[in-house]
Amino acid sequence: MSRVGNSVIQVPSGVNISIQDKLFSAKGKLGELSLSIPSYLELKHEGQELRVALLTKSKESRMMWGTTQRNLANIVKGVSEGFTLDMEIVGVGYRAAVQGSELVLQLGFSHEVRYKIPAGISVKCEKPTSIQLQGADKQKIGQMAAEVRSYRPPEPYKGKGVIRAGEYVLRKVGKKK
C-alpha cells in the first residue's frame, strides 16, 4: 500500500478549495488550478486538512492513490507559493534572452531558437547563461524545462548544453593519442 496516499495535505490560509462531482479546484493568489479525481478515490476536506481515501482496494486505485495525493499537494502549493526552476546554459556563445512572449536561445546552431512561453509561466534571464521559470503549475514548468533542454541536451565530453541548476553531467574521457 502507498504511504504517500496516507499523508495529509495542509491547506494554507488564502487558498479556497472546492470539490464538486469529482473535480477538485483550488484558487489562491497565484491563480486557479483544477484536477479531476478518479472515481475510485474520495476526497475528505476537514478544516485546513485534505485527505485522499480509497473507495475500492483494486490495483489501479492503489496505484493512483499516492499519485493523486501528490498532484493535489502540488496544486495547493502552486496556487499559494508557486514553483521556481533554474536552468543554466553551458557553452561558448550560448545564451538566452526573453523578447516579448518568446524565449530566444542561441545554442550554436546557424539560427536562433525561438520558444513561445506558455500561459501561466514567467521566464527571467538575469544573466545570458541562466533561465528562471516561475509559475503555479509544476507540470507545465517541468514540461517547458524538458522542451527547452531538448534543443541542446548536455553532452558528456565537454559538458555543453542546457542543464538544470545543480545538475551533475557525467563526463567521459575523450580520445587519447
CB atoms within 10 A of CB 24: 22
pLDDT in tens, 108-154: 999 999 999 999 999 999 999 999 999 999 999 999 999 999 999 99
d(CA 98, CA 156): 28
SS3 state at 164? strand
pLDDT in tens, 9-47: 999 999 999 999 889 999 999 999 999 999 999 999 888
Q: pTM of the predicted model, to two decimals?
A: 0.88
d(CA 132, CA 87): 6
Domains (ranges, CATH) in the chain?
Answer: 9-80 (3.90.930.12), 83-164 (3.90.930.12)
d(CA 111, CA 55): 55
Handedness of CA 76, 77, 80, 84 (dihedral sign): negative
